[in-house]
Structure 1
């Protein structure tokens, strides 16, 4: 049988498609470890990604051989290995936003006495990239590298509020699973909250993502004018009084603009 090709369109070899699909599967497996529990087994990965156990097992063994994943004696499942940790550390060192944000977030930590954080946008979620811990005995800390939804908490909502409309709509049309009893889970309520954030340029959360935690966040804009993440001031909710929140609003706005200006200057200097 003769296969006819569409005029003017170059057909990719089947092997290319197969290679692309295989690479995507490997990436999907690694991303599960980035956002999920510390240990994952073959069955759990198979269910989550809809792949056969045989395929998952082959991928895992390949990643273990390259130290991207590892196993521990007496523990069922796989965890991220030293090569993955080295890759992540290298990425953070080379991330422009982290370079320019670090001194500003340290200063913000010293000015407020609370923990300050940097989050990056990853797909339709966010991940903590760095934190500068409060010197206080009672403080809030975050799990760097863990992924969170955009609809819960100030760091996520402020990103969601300033995403392009088509990307925002994708998130809003998904089920909104509550993380605490204060998480906004109805679409209309979340849309109203995002509209207010759009007007104010700042998001506030009191126990929405983590019970007992308060935070104020601002978007992290890149030189391209797009939102790439967020910065926040966070701590125990009882310290986030109306007076403190109002002060933090002004501080986080100024810090956000300063990071944007410095990032733009850094990129201009590299070109």
Structure 2
């Protein structure tokens, strides 16, 4: 029987915990770049995450070496690099809902002459995954890949309205920051709006997330019956009159249902092909 000295070694559990914590820090740093300014510096990241500047600097250098982040001459700070862009593009290609939503959203754009969007649920936030821009000279466009809170805007509210009760309560239990003067920040008021949204299957926003912007959104359910995201029609608020909003409610709701059926069919066809 052989013996091995354990002197100087950390318990396996401690080593695993340290590795998990390090990985979480790297992920947190990367995630900051999806919802904030294009360029971020060591000091800003350190303040946001509560990490020492030396730790942040090491993480950034590691990410730069793997092309997940990059720097530009004459510009202070770091930005997402080509490897991160490639990773995001790969994820988008594999998002089935985006595939089946494309023709529906393009047709909805043509029917309304307004920009149409697809949002996905990511944690307790949402991210714009795709858009089809309005042909009009004055129009609204969105930032693909940028994260937004669920309580502000129609695309977020309609997702929040259909989240499981525990997850919805967790979101409403946190601070609800005002993105504009019209953002609903009182949890009780928002609960009332969400209950109405759940009954009607559609949400409306007039300047709640972005000043001067109007939107109508419907929930996007996956083949598993769970809420996965939302679709919307959006444009300048002055064009979203009560009559127009009433028309868009029907169009967006029908479009979301069409995407859901197509998504389910695509999944079922894929499962059958693999059997």
TM-score tier after normalising by the smaller chain length = over 0.9
Q: Which residue of the partner structure matches residue 245 of structure 2?
A: 245
Give the alignment of 1:212-251 within 5 angstroms.
212-251=212-251
Deviation string 1:213-260 (CA, Å, 9 cap, x unpaired) is 110000011111110110000011111111111111111111111111
Aligned counterpart, 1:100: 100
Partner deviation per Cα, 1:85-120 (whole Å, 9 max, x = no partner): 111111111110100100100000001110000001
**Pairs aligned (count):** 261
SS in 1 for 2:64: helix
Alignment partners' CA distance in 2, 1:64 and 1:12? 30
Unaligned stretches of 5+ residues in structure 2: 1-10
Match of 1:13 in 2: 13
Secondary structure of the residue aligned to 2:59 is helix
Instruction: Give the aligned partner of residue 159 of structure 1.
Output: 159
Structure 1 ranges of 4+ moved more than 3 A? none
1:55 maps to 55
Q: Structure 1: how far apart are the matches of 2:61 and 2:32?
A: 16
The match for 1:185 is: 185
State the match for 1:84 in structure 2. Answer: 84
Q: Equivalences for 1:113-152 in 2 at 5 Å? A: 113-152=113-152
State the 1:14 CA deviation. Answer: 2.5
Aligned-pair distance for 1:15?
2.0
TM-score by length of 1: 0.94
1:147-172 deviation per Cα after TM superposition (whole angstroms, max 9, x unaligned):
11100100000000000011111110
How many Å separate the matches in 2 of 1:52 and 1:106? 47
**Aligned equivalents of 1:184 and 1:103: distance in 2?**
33
Distance 1:12 1:192 in 2: 50
| Structure 1 residue matching 2:130: 3-state secondary structure | strand
Distance 1:234 1:44 in 2: 32
Q: What TM-score do you get using the length of structure 2 for normalisation?
A: 0.93
Give the whole-Å Cα distance in 2 for the aligned partners of 1:210 and 1:36.
16
| Partner residue in 2 for 1:7 | none
TM-aligned CA deviation for residue 12 of structure 1: 5.5
